[in-house]
A and B are shown apart, each in its own frame.
Chain A
Amino acid sequence: MTNDEQGPMENLLDGLDQQSDALSSEDLKAELQARGIDIEPFLQQMDEIITAHDKRERLAWMQVADEKKESLRVAETPESQWGDRKPEEIFAAFAVFLKATRGLAFRNRGDLSVEDMAAILEADERLKRGEQSKPADES
């Protein structure tokens, strides 16, 4: 392709290419503006795309968290294991749980109700189920 066959954009880019060392970015912007081309919106758009991409990369752990949450939701059994049991059963199971557990903490605890104990047993049950469903190489 000869120079005669080049379009105005190609000519402009060629010219900029030849002059770019001599021009600052502000001069370049002014030169383009004088020729009726405002690159400010384009630069701003590029900046936004890059910023959004950086943020996505930086916060990639959030997507991992969402995937983990989704896999827990899929694995969830619809019915509660402990909520509908008789209080005597819950008390007995909770006593057994307390003897064995090595990881139980509270926030603002008063006297625990049967519902509280059931929730704790439910949590323990979920952890056990999670343990069982892990692939062998992970456990």
Chain B
Amino acid sequence: MASSQRKAIAVAKADDLIKELQIQEPAEIDIDRIAIFKNAEVRYASLRGMDGCLVRKDNAAVITVRSSLKYEGQKRFVIAHELGHFFLHPETRQMETVDTKQANNWSERQETEEYEANLFAAELLMPKRFIEVRIAGQEPSFELIKGLAEEFQTTLTATAAQFVLTTKEECVLISSENRRRLWFIPSKGFSFSLLEDDYVHGHSCTAEVNEEKRRSRSSDIEASYWLERFRGDHKSCITEDAIYFPTLRRTLTLLWIHDAI
């Protein structure tokens, strides 16, 4: 089956579940109850080498979540992610396939069960139907994404990913570490290519954020800092919003083509 088809199925399965449970608002996405209703018991344990796992037997499963996870959004995402495996990958054996390099990876280019489980989790916790009405006519920004994360009780990264997968604006979400791009997700209508070189430009907002300055946003970022085909063009500008995560030592960047370039 083609990868795009598998991804579409992952999203559709989550959407079917929301419809089956007649969920109409974010507060009703009670992930613990959804899991147990679907025969997946949720337990918390002092895990060390993973954030969570799913052990399955026929139509029942036990999801174990690392009890030391700090944020409710993280716990919710782990449960939803494992439910994704429960619904999508009945015979999975991830001992051999998943390693730390794939962890936290939201790259759309990834063709793994992990990415599908992420898509399922994002759709289950933040249904596109609910997100669309909240972002219509709003300027893409981490302010907007933070508001959504609070309302849906989700992590900022997952919310930003779902935002980009939902928005009609030309956006791209980029994760980087030590000024090296790790992964990116373009929005559906994004018609540009990121620079082949994955090194982050020194004059970008992304290069500016760190432990002390955690947020930077500007609407006057030269497109050539990030995009192909703009070399030497100092007039074409885009909006860049960057946020630094001290615990992960990673930066999340949202690029928005706010005007025709």
Contacts and interface: CB of A to CB of B under 8 A. Distances in A.
Contacts of B49: 109-113, 116
A13 interface: no
B52 A107 contact: yes
B156 interface: no
Contacts of B21: 59, 61
Given A64-B37, A105-B85, A115 B56 contact: no
A49 B96 CA distance: 54
Interface residues of A, number: 36
Interface residues of B, number: 51
Contact of A107 (B22, B51, B55): B51
B113 to A, nearest CB: 7
B34 A103 contact: no
B61 interface: yes
B41 A65 contact: no
Nearest to B103: A108
B218 interface: no
Nearest to A66: B33
B22 A59 contact: yes
Among all A-B residue pairs, the 9 with the closest Cβ atoms: A103-B56, A123-B62, A105-B85, A65-B33, A123-B55, A65-B37, A113-B48, A108-B51, A107-B52
Interface of A: 58-59, 61-62, 64-66, 68-69, 72, 98, 101-113, 115-116, 119-120, 122-124, 126-128, 130-131
